A and B are shown apart, each in its own frame.
Chain A
Amino acid sequence: MDVRAQMSMVFHLDKCIGCHTCSIACKNIWTDRKGAEYMWWNNVETKPGTGYPTKWEDQEIYKGGWEKKDRDISLKGAGKLRGLMNIFHNPNLPVIDDYYEPFTYKYLDLIESPAMNDQPTARPVSLITGKPIDIKAGPNWDDDLSGTPDYARQDPNLKNLTPAEQEAMFQLERMAFYYLPRICNHCLNPACVASCPSGAIYKRGEDGIVLINQNVCRAWRMCVTACPYKKSYYNWHTGKSEKCILCYPRIEAGYAPACMHSCVGRIRYLGVVLYDADEIHEVASCDEASLVNRQLNMILDPFDERVIESAKKNGIADSTIKAAQYSPTYKFVKEWGLALPLHPEFRTLPMLFYVPPLLPVMASLREVNNQAQAEKMNPTAKYWNDNWLYDTSTEELWGTIDQARFPLKYLASLFSAGDENKVKHILKKLLAVRIHRRNVTVGDMDKAKVDQVMKDTNLTSEEAEAIYYLTSLAKFDDRFVIPASHREQSMEMLEFTGDTKGSVGFGLKSDPLRSA
């Protein structure tokens, strides 16, 4: 057992309101620079939709991630031999229009315009060329265009749905959507690290954050191809690739990353998990059917004596082990089994987990005769003369999930490599917590029914309360459990802290900069 610590995230999709505050917080801190205008280390996508860059999930276009070969895996687009053959032309890179051409408006024209009969206009100009452009796309064009058929229906996750199922999703009455915020997954088996010909990308030992060394990067851009989530970006001004750094300077100082700190819906959770690094190769190359389960099994129980012992042997600090025991990520992912990785079939073992959204699943839509109801309405009242029933009742218990207007197959394609039962189980659990809370606060439900629900999902009322607390009431310190970064240890690697006044010798490095 080779126990290592990993900073791991959970995004609770039911809580995301798609406000993009996270994206803006990240942009203001990290990518508000020349050459980085088009980058969104954090972005929020509307699903169904094609995402950013367009159709990033379709690896037949971008050739990202790993491919299973016999009992091994190899990079799909930029393996050793293929990478070398293509090193000078990199055939599968997204072009700038796959992201979008960044733009601003000539606001000064509004201020400096002379008095005219017509109002002055601020024309859009490209942030790359500086010339006026016609805006073709934006970072979340799917949402900006309210899910036109051009975008929503091109979603690669619809591939496995029958044409009838797809059609049903886009009927106006049945239409549903949700938001998918994305950052770098800080994978356990990162394809970007494996693809870099310069060896510039590395996974930090102490917390598993994946970083690009800007001094070593030689602009081969293999990481841009290799990352199946397209979360490594090439800065055309500096000639280096950049990616989400999980705000490591903030984490080292004990603060939550900017996107998580600013999150309005409080959907984001951050904590340490301990995992067994010996299993990485085996799990990454296992059968697709068992991929999710085995990835989740890699995460170890931080209360297990053997795990703690191995962790200490690997130099993991006591404070980190303690943080792992209080980790909200561990609770969501392992204890309650509510969160799943995004596209595990890319085999990078992503360490950002999502609680799948329940909202569009909770209600079902049925065709009924609304005539009697309509006649009761005041003649001046506005009502739609249709025969649809948006059914949020809990009469049928799990029926709503099976007949959901949002097909489970779609969610399974995103979160469980196609395993519908996995998603269904989680949605049932989430629904059970709601039923439990409704019973507690409203109390209008049949006791036997509630017990049946809890039994079906193997939930105790204590567990349901705990899930409810961490989902809805959690305070800042519950959502972000960040262990001390032990900077004093890294300092000791640079200088002998036992130095006394008057001692002589050769210093290794200059003194570390201290914060005020």
Chain B
Amino acid sequence: MKSLRTGFFVGVLYIIAHTTYAQQAGQGNFNTFCAVCHSISKGKLIGPDLADVHLRRSDAWLLEFITSSQTMINKGDADAVALFNEYNKTLMPDAPYSADQIKDIINYIKSKSPSYVATTETTIASEPVEPAEPVRSVNEATEEEIQFGELLFTGNTRLAAKGPSCMSCHHVKNNRLVGGGLLAKDLTDAYSRMDEAGIKAILTAPPFPAMREAYQYNSISEDEAYALTAFLKYADEEQYGQTPRDWQQYFLAAGGASFLLLLGVFSLVWSKRKKNAVNKKIFDRQVYS
């Protein structure tokens, strides 16, 4: 009997502790992974505002979408496709979390949503709001800053924390640049697609798996993010009428020329090679059947 009671209390304790822990975990993961593109009740960023999202979609749908939005879009889920189209066909990266962790995140969003806050009787002491730092808009960026952003993008100036330069994976169509990498998205119209806040957020806390991996230990600083955003804005605005030189054909020609050169060198080096049998004269003399 005694053990049963003890068991009950332990169970209760565990549930309480677990819920609190889960909420904290949910908050942490939301901030690191989701907050880059989404806000709760603070308006739309790259993705939609998530306030009261649990009233708009079922929990199961949310879980599936967060786990892998691309799978859902490919399957042809009407809501998912509609969302994808609405937000400039920007893919939401798959969350690197377990189902339980994602549920924690959904719970966290619920707890911060206006509908939930209104219905709960407990009044949560509002967190002290930090006085908003006046953020300088990239519209005010000087020519030097755009120039600096370009240097950072191409890698001519190295990122302060020694992260890889943007150009190794991304391309921007601009006369001032040689073609960039094709491993990740073309960033020519990134500014129109994602806006200033979105780009800065992605740069400082990358949500995409490859990019997160690349900048995990050498993140891009605020100043660098500002300069890069300014450069991307400039590139976006100037993209029409840009006709960057196509280096591909030059590479092809250079490859062909060096192939011929090497062929020449090798035929010279190989000319002394022993090609025939020592007894060739004797063999040649033989009459074959």
Interface assignment of A451: CB less than 8 Å from any CB of chain B: no
Interface assignment of A262: CB less than 8 Å from any CB of chain B: no
Select A137's contact among B269, B270, B274, B279, beta carbons within 8 Å.
B279
Cα A136 to Cα B287 with chains together (Å) = 10
Contact flags A81-101 to B (C-beta < 8 A → 1, else 0): 000011001011111011000
Q: In this complex, what residue of B is CB-closest to A150?
A: B282
Per the 8 Å Cβ criterion, residues 255-289 of B in contact with A are 266, 269-270, 272-280, 282-283, 286, 288-289
A93 / chain B contacts, CB cutoff of 8 Å: 274
Cα A53 to Cα B283 with chains together (Å) = 15
- B273 contacts A134, C-beta separation under 8 Å: no
- B273 contacts A97, C-beta separation under 8 Å: no
Contacts A54-B278, A98-B278 hold; do A89 and B283 have CB atoms under 8 A apart?
A: no
Cα A54 to Cα B281 with chains together (Å) = 13
B276 / chain A contacts, CB cutoff of 8 Å: 95
Cα A62 to Cα B274 with chains together (Å) = 9
- A92 contacts B283, C-beta separation under 8 Å: no
Cα A55 to Cα B278 with chains together (Å) = 8
A62 / chain B contacts, CB cutoff of 8 Å: 274
- A92 contacts B286, C-beta separation under 8 Å: no
Interface assignment of A61: CB less than 8 Å from any CB of chain B: yes
Q: From B272, B278, B283, B286, name the one whose CB has the most chain A CB atoms within 10 angstroms.
A: B278
Q: In this complex, what residue of B is CB-closest to A55?
A: B278
Cα A91 to Cα B269 with chains together (Å) = 9
- B274 contacts A85, C-beta separation under 8 Å: no
Q: In this complex, what residue of A is CB-closest to B270?
A: A89
B269 / chain A contacts, CB cutoff of 8 Å: 85-86, 89
B103 to chain A minimum Cβ distance, whole angstroms, is 44
- A97 contacts B270, C-beta separation under 8 Å: no
State the interface size on chain B (CB cutoff 8 A): 17
Select A95's contact among B272, B274, B286, beta carbons within 8 Å.
B274
Cα A93 to Cα B272 with chains together (Å) = 12
- B270 contacts A91, C-beta separation under 8 Å: yes
Q: In this complex, what residue of B is CB-closest to A137?
A: B279
A98 / chain B contacts, CB cutoff of 8 Å: 277-279
B68 to chain A minimum Cβ distance, whole angstroms, is 43
Q: In this complex, what residue of B is CB-closest to A88?
A: B266
- B273 contacts A61, C-beta separation under 8 Å: no
B266 / chain A contacts, CB cutoff of 8 Å: 89
Cα A91 to Cα B266 with chains together (Å) = 12
Cα A95 to Cα B286 with chains together (Å) = 19
- B279 contacts A97, C-beta separation under 8 Å: yes
Cα A94 to Cα B275 with chains together (Å) = 9
- B274 contacts A61, C-beta separation under 8 Å: yes
Q: From B274, B276, B280, name the one whose CB has the most chain A CB atoms within 10 angstroms.
A: B274
- A134 contacts B288, C-beta separation under 8 Å: yes
- B289 contacts A134, C-beta separation under 8 Å: yes
Cα A95 to Cα B270 with chains together (Å) = 15
Q: In this complex, what residue of B is CB-closest to A92?
A: B274
B280 / chain A contacts, CB cutoff of 8 Å: 97
Q: In this complex, what residue of B is CB-closest to A93?
A: B274
Cα A134 to Cα B288 with chains together (Å) = 6
Select A97's contact among B272, B283, B288, B289, beta carbons within 8 Å.
B283
B34 to chain A minimum Cβ distance, whole angstroms, is 48
Q: In this complex, what residue of B is CB-closest to A225?
A: B274
- B275 contacts A136, C-beta separation under 8 Å: no
A134 / chain B contacts, CB cutoff of 8 Å: 286, 288-289
A64 to chain B minimum Cβ distance, whole angstroms, is 12
A150 / chain B contacts, CB cutoff of 8 Å: 279, 282
B282 / chain A contacts, CB cutoff of 8 Å: 150
A–B complex contacts, Cβ < 8 Å, 7 sampled = A61-B274, A89-B266, A91-B270, A91-B273, A97-B279, A98-B279, A134-B286
- Nearest 6 pairs between A and B by C-beta? A97-B277, A91-B273, A54-B278, A134-B288, A55-B278, A98-B277
Q: Which residues of A contact B (CB under 8 A)?
A: 50, 53-55, 61-62, 85-86, 89, 91-95, 97-98, 134, 136-137, 150
Extra inter-chain contacts (4) besides given A91-B272, A95-B275, A95-B277, CB under 8 Å: A61-B274, A85-B269, A97-B279, A98-B279
